[in-house]
Amino acid sequence: MIEIQNLTKEYGRIKAIDNISFNVEKGEILGFLGPNGAGKTTTMNIITGFISSTSGVVKIMGIDILEDPVEVKRHIGYLPEQPPLYPDMTVNEYLDFCAALKKIPLKKWKSQKKDIMELVKVTHVSHRLIKNLSKGYKQRVGFAQALVGSPEVLILDEPTVGLDPKQIMEIRNLIKALGKKHTVILSSHILPEVSAVCDRVVIINRGRIAAIDTPENLSKSLTDFSRFTVTVEGPENKVKNVISNIYGVKYLKTSAKIKDNEYSYIVEADKNIDVRKPMFYQLAQQGLPILELKSLNLSLEEVFLQLTTNEEKEAV
């Protein structure tokens, strides 16, 4: 759906992005991460056709954005960090204006507008001036304009910045819903949000790609073991004896006594060996039920910091 090959953008002697390449598959939600000044916004501006690259290729649905920018833009919906709203327009007027800019036939737009407003939940404020809306509803209107014309690709730059926790959850659920019908690139500094929503992540630092993979695989690649907590009901010594003898387990420690005959343990295992199934079966055979199992692998924040910090140290 989206192909980016050897993309470079230079400002004089400074390379904002330096020979980056990645693809986004149809129906995928891709997290695009990086520290401030890493080149994220520059990359998104090139993908959406706002600026041109110094070299490299961007294709949307197989169409080169430099060869046919007007056609490519028909397939893209863009929500920048500051939604491009006209505060003295009503929501209805603004969306009609966006539809006119995209040259959507009036008959087609009438039914499409109703669907879009229902999806982003702004129908009941459609006759209000945008300047009188809350931050959350302004963000929803920004989403609505990105959906005008039903573009196959959505580019979302910090879509939840400045929102309260309830609004963040609502926008997160909206992005998940949009991912069922659209290919999405999501840039955000709220990394738990990216973990919850995205299928894969691209981490960019100093204009270059530091990593591309799923959050889970990135976590595994940066450690020599998998780590998790397990809570089991049964005698402590018996439980530890069963778990410690499972092939692949490297470390076992009791972390807490929950109550009588119920303990929580920290388990570290070889990252190439999944010990969860044999642990489940062997504990069950001994009448020792697992009450909780939770991963303790590196969070996306820890992965992000490790990758970007290591690159900065290497550059010094």
CATH number at residue 156: 3.40.50.300
In DSSP terms, 202 is beta-bridged to 32, 212
For residues 184 and 156, the answer to whether their CB atoms sit within 8 Å is: yes
3-class state of residue 237 by DSSP: helix
Count how many domains the chain has: 2
Domain end marker among 166, 193, 214: 214
Domain containing residue 241: 224-295
| 208 and 62 part of one domain | yes
| 188 and 87 part of one domain | yes
Residue 185: count other Cβ atoms within 10 Å of its Cβ.
Answer: 26
Listed in sequence order, the residues at least 6 apart from 26 whose beta carbon sits closer than 8 Å to its beta carbon are: 1, 152, 183
3-class state of residue 39 by DSSP: coil
Angstrom distance (rounded) from CA 163 to CA 160:
6
As given in the structure block, the two tokens for residue 57 are: 């290729």
Please give the span between the terminal C-alpha atoms of the chain, in angstroms, as a whole number: 37
Per the domain annotation, does 316 fall within a domain? no
CATH number at residue 274: 3.30.70.3100
| 187 and 205 part of one domain | yes
| 172 and 30 part of one domain | yes
| 55 and 201 part of one domain | yes
pLDDT tens-place values along the chain, 316 residues long: 899 999 999 998 888 999 999 999 988 999 998 888 888 889 988 998 888 899 999 999 899 988 888 888 889 999 988 888 999 999 999 999 999 998 899 888 988 999 999 988 899 999 999 999 988 889 889 989 999 998 999 999 888 877 788 878 888 888 888 888 889 999 887 787 788 888 899 989 888 998 888 877 787 776 667 888 999 999 999 999 999 999 999 999 999 999 999 999 999 998 888 899 999 999 999 999 999 998 877 777 777 787 777 555 445 4
Angstrom distance (rounded) from CA 244 to CA 77:
53
For residues 126 and 92, the answer to whether their CB atoms sit within 8 Å is: yes
Per the domain annotation, does 300 fall within a domain? no
